[in-house]
Amino acid sequence: MTKIILTRHGETLWNIEGRVQGMMDSPLTERGLHQARRLALRLKQEGIQYLYASDRPRALATAEEIKRELELKVPVLSAPQFRELSFGEWEGKIWAELRVNYADIFAVWDKSPYLVQIPGGERMEEVAERAWEFLRELMGKHEGETICVVTHGLTLKLVVTKALGYDISDWKRTPWQFNTALNILEFDGRNIVPEILGDCSHLEDLE
């Protein structure tokens, strides 16, 4: 049985400010670092053998905190395939302001975001394809082992949606992925069975 642990990076400065990150980046907050450590403590008994992360600094920093807390001897393996959706011209801008300036796009985004072409950015279908195909490669490469992947909110939700056999148009059927949300899937070579989806109970009472 192959175990796949999927999570999102910890809270960042731009998360607090309500800014679009995408391919751009901002540092983890102190709370974000604590979130990563709490997640690591929860994963102590999972026997992680390989640790992958998007090559964006916020994801790598989260993975490094997990590695440090668990005293893992393996390196954090950078995987650009797990980058967040590129938001093109929107990156670095405030979400609330974009809603006013691009009201026509958000009218579609709020109902069917998978149909939206963000100016200069990616479509959700592109992100789902690149991330899911690479995860399938990893499942084949690490058969019978336990891997952990640190990625981003939208990318993570899309991967979980694909893993459960849903089309991206059904992406609302899977839980939103908050900072350090935990997903654990088991793959027997044919079927993927979800053990935990979008769980953040490790963050309870975190100040």
For 118-171, the pLDDT digits (tens) are 999 999 999 999 999 999 999 999 999 999 999 999 999 999 999 999 999 999
Bridge-partner residues for 51, per DSSP? 76, 148
Whether 152 is a known active-site residue: answer: no
* Contact call for residues 50 and 147 (beta carbons, < 8 A): yes
* Contact call for residues 74 and 63 (beta carbons, < 8 A): no
Nearest one of 189, 164, 195, 153 to 43, comparing CA atoms = 195
Q: Is the pLDDT of residue 205 over 90?
A: no
Query: Model pTM?
Result: 0.96
Q: Which of 97-101, 134-138, 190-194, 202-206 has the lowest mean pLDDT?
A: 202-206
DSSP for residue 201: G
Cα 141 from chain centroid (whole Å): 21
The tens digit of pLDDT for each residue in 22-38 reads 999 999 999 999 999 99
3-state helix, strand, coil in the chain (%, to 5): 45, 20, 35
Measured in Å, how far apart are the chain's first and last C-alpha atoms? 37
C-alpha to C-alpha distance for 66 and 44, rounded to whole angstroms: 10
C-alpha to C-alpha distance for 174 and 120, rounded to whole angstroms: 27
Outline where DSSP puts E strands in the chain. 2-8, 50-53, 76-78, 146-151, 182-187, 192-199
Taking the CA of residue 108 as centre, how many other CA atoms within 13 Å lie in the half-sphere pointing to its CB?
A: 10
User: Among residues 11, 34, 65, 84, which one is catalytic?
Assistant: 84
Between CA 129 and CA 16, with CA 117 as vertex, the angle to 5 degrees is: 85
pLDDT classification of 189: cutoffs 50, 70, 90: confident
The tens digit of pLDDT for each residue in 59-118 reads 999 999 999 999 999 999 999 999 999 999 999 999 999 999 999 999 999 999 999 999
User: Among residues 9, 11, 34, 152, which one is catalytic?
Assistant: 9
Whether 202 is a known active-site residue: answer: no
Q: Is the pLDDT of residue 206 over 90?
A: no
- pLDDT for res 86: 97
- The CATH class, in words, for 2-203 is alpha beta
Task: Kindly tell me the burial class for residue 31, based on how many C-beta atoms sit within 10 Å of its own C-beta (0-12, 13-18, 19 or more).
Answer: middle
Q: Where are the domains of the chain?
A: 2-203
Q: Is the pLDDT of residue 207 over 70?
A: no
